[in-house]
Amino acid sequence: MNLRLSWRSGARLAALALSCWACLVSAKKPAEANAGYAVSGSCAGHPAVTSFKVAPGFCVGLVASDLGAPRGVLPLPDGRVLVTDRGPWDGQRGRLLALSFSAQGEARLSVLLTKLDRPHGLQLDAAGRVLLGESGRISVVDFRPDGAVLKPLIEHLPTAGRHPLKAFIVAPDGALIVNIGAPTDHCETPDDAAASAPMSSGFVPCTVAEGDQPQAALWRYERAKGEPERWAGKVLARGLRNSMGLAYSRPDGALWQAENSRDTLPGPVRDSATRPFDELNRVVQGRHYGWPYCTEGNLRDPAFGSFDCKQYTAPERLLPPHSAPLGMLFYDAPQAPAAWRKSLVITLHGYRATGHRIIGYPLSPKGQPAAKPITLVEGWDGAAGQQPMGAPTDIKADSQGRLWVTEDRNGTLLVIAPVVQDPR
């Protein structure tokens, strides 16, 4: 596995360009193509979804549908919203989409790039450039009058296995923190099986989680000194099965991670609706967070021999089991209702009863999440004539305090907006 980072250009980049600003597609009004949602009235200039249970002080608007399998979302300062369409899991059919809006809220859709390999993450760097994460690389999106091209920053990332999507975040110092997900659930296949012989201590390590090229890890990439076009990567933290939710807290600059924990329990009765829990971790450089040996901090897998879970860093909070946290942000918009200012908001993508909702953790003055979450949006349970079963993915805030949410089960983009109170 090669995790080196490089900058390349040439004919392959040109092949990704698509002249799409001149090929705008008029998206149907959401009220006419509502993807199964019941809508009535308006929310932030878009048809309001009426069947959700929404926290007081917010409304939810249906912005656009028919977006394929939307994953990453990024509102831009100019008012446009970018969305990645992951495409099929076999790869090379993903897209980068841009939505702009008329004064009446009607969405106009343009396809910026096609033939992408399972695109997911979208971020702005300190210079205001758009960064896009495909399965095997992270690139700068170079916008041009006749379309866009990609300029790779990080290449040759692992693409095989159960978790090929690349979530990432820009660190306060400009470095990129990249999720390299575990290729399996709990190191159960020959490709990443535990070592054939135990160590002298009786511990049997999982090969793919250890060494100098681990997966199930967060990697930190930064520009090499004296070589601005070459970036170098090193392990930041390991034992993190799939770090799809990443966010920096503003009070102290700490990195937080929402962990998609293993799907099955150790032992003969593997499937359980109530265990194991997903996790919320505060990431510290050099630490090991336990995958695949320990889950929830103390749920030990005896398949790896003799060891003590106390040697691994325990989660700060346990998230609902099988909830599949994907998007996460620290929300401190001044426009937000008071109960939601300075909160940690997480989208739960899971199909089980504990998932398909958006939750938040109020923060203490020191930035510590509360013991129990509160619900921002729920009701994606599926009801004929009301709304379909849903699965929120990414979430980002804009300068107006609105939260933009992709939902990939039904191919929609939603907006959660603070409700402006009538001063009269």
Confidence category of residue 19, pLDDT binned at 50, 70, 90: very low
The predicted structure's pLDDT at residue 216: 97
The pLDDT assigned to 199 comes to: 55
Q: Which residue range(s) make up the domain with 27? A: 11-418
Q: Evaluate whether residue 5 is within a structural domain.
A: no
Answer yes or no: pTM beyond 0.95.
Answer: no
Bigger pLDDT: 15 vs 99: 99
Q: Is residue 109 part of a domain?
A: yes
Q: Picking from 83-87, 196-200, 234-238, 260-264, which range would have the lowest pLDDT averaged per residue?
A: 196-200
Tell me, yes or no, whether 423 lies in a domain.
no
- For residue 2, being part of any structural domain is answered with no
Q: Give per-residue pLDDT as tens, 304-342.
A: 999 999 999 999 999 999 999 999 999 999 999 999 999
Domain for residue 390, yes or no?
yes
State the total domains in the chain: 1
Return mean pLDDT, the chain: 88
Is residue 268 a part of any domain in this protein?
A: yes
CATH of the domain at 75: 2.120.10.30
User: Does residue 201 surpass a pLDDT of 70?
Assistant: no
Per residue, the 3-state secondary structure of the chain, as one string, reads CCCCCCCCCCHHHHCCECCCCCCCEECCCCCCCCCCCCEEEEECCEEEECCCEECCCEEEEEEECCCCCEEEEEECCCCCEEEEECCCCCCCCEEEEEEEECCCCCEEEEEEEEEECCCCCEEECCCCCEEEECCCCEEEEEEECCEEEEEEEECCCCCCCCCCCCCEEECCCCCEEEEECCCCCCCCCHHHCECCCCCCCCECCEHHHCCCCCCCEEEEEEEECCEEEEEEEEEEEECCCCEEEEEECCCCCCEEEEECCCCCCCCCCCCCCCCCEEEEEEECCCCECCCCCEECCCEECHHHECCCHHHCCCCCEEEEECCCEEEEEEECCCCCCHHHCCEEEEEECCCCCCCCEEEEEEECCCCCECCCCEEEEECCEEECCCEEECCEEEEEECCCCCEEEEECCCCEEEEEEECCCCCC
